Structure 1
Amino acid sequence: MTNRNHYYLSIADLARARGSDPALSWSGAGPGDFAAALQEALRSRTLFEHWCAKQPDPDAVDPSLGATDGQAQVQARVADLHVEVDVLTVLPMSLLRQRLNWLIGAAWQLRDVRPG
């Protein structure tokens, strides 16, 4: 059985955090919207399938890159002048990083990882 992990992230300027591809990028208004978008990106293949369709040879994309966690949970809140995000998932950091980069680019920072 795969272990669940808490990934603790920080986003300095969520209002300006966007991925490089507008078709995949998050376009919400605040921490709650971002948490919902990231949770959906971890629970479903929708964002992955949009990205995959944009690749030169979608059939050549490794299907394991589209892994999901139907029980993933994401919470985000404003703390001081940044947004703190808590992600609970069985997905590895490589897939969490992939989804974060599609949604908000490099605007996030991993603060800690702990068993869930």
Structure 2
Amino acid sequence: MATRYYIRLPDGSRARGTTPSLSFTAQGAGGFAEQLQDALREPALFERWRLLQDEPDEVDPALGVTDPNAVVHGEQHDLHIDLQVTSSIPGHVLKQRLRLLAGSAWELRDVTAA
């Protein structure tokens, strides 16, 4: 079952994770949406993060779940960016991916059934 997540990046220029190789590189709403969508659809971000761990083989494989049907839309509003995510990815996995991509510079505004 898909869920819709409403996410805000209060300042897109600060939406960067602590590890540059895992972080957002986007500058605008469309780029942020595309990078998050890729992180939900494909295992590449998870795999890069997993390989950085002290014991990569001990990382819970459930954190690597993907949703090939995930869709992310982005809208720019002055400095802040609103992202609407529709996905079957569990909320804790979505939050982990957002922390990798944006650090703590994001807000979960609402969650609804899709």
Tell me the TM-score range normalised by the shorter chain.
over 0.9
Structure 1 consecutive aligned stretches of length 4 or more whose deviation exceeds 3 Å: none
* 1:62-81 paired onto structure 2 within 5 Å: 62-81=60-79
Match of 1:94 among 89, 92, 95: 92
1:34 corresponding residue in structure 2: 32
By how many angstroms is 1:29 displaced?
A: 1.6
By how many angstroms is 1:78 displaced?
A: 1.2
2:14 corresponding residue in structure 1: 16
Q: How many residues align?
A: 114
Amino acid paired to 1:45? P
By how many angstroms is 1:27 displaced?
A: 1.0
TM-score computed with the length of structure 1 as normaliser: 0.94
Q: In the alignment, is residue 85 of structure 1 matched against residue 78 of structure 2?
A: no
By how many angstroms is 1:17 displaced?
A: 1.2
**How much is the aligned-residue C-alpha RMSD, in angstroms?**
0.9
By how many angstroms is 1:79 displaced?
A: 2.5
Aligned partner of residue 76 in structure 2, secondary structure: strand
TM-score computed with the length of structure 2 as normaliser: 0.96
Q: Gapped runs of 5+ residues in structure 2?
A: none
Aligned partner of residue 111 in structure 1, secondary structure: strand
By how many angstroms is 1:80 displaced?
A: 4.7
The percentage of aligned residue pairs carrying the same residue is 46
Q: Gapped runs of 5+ residues in structure 1?
A: none
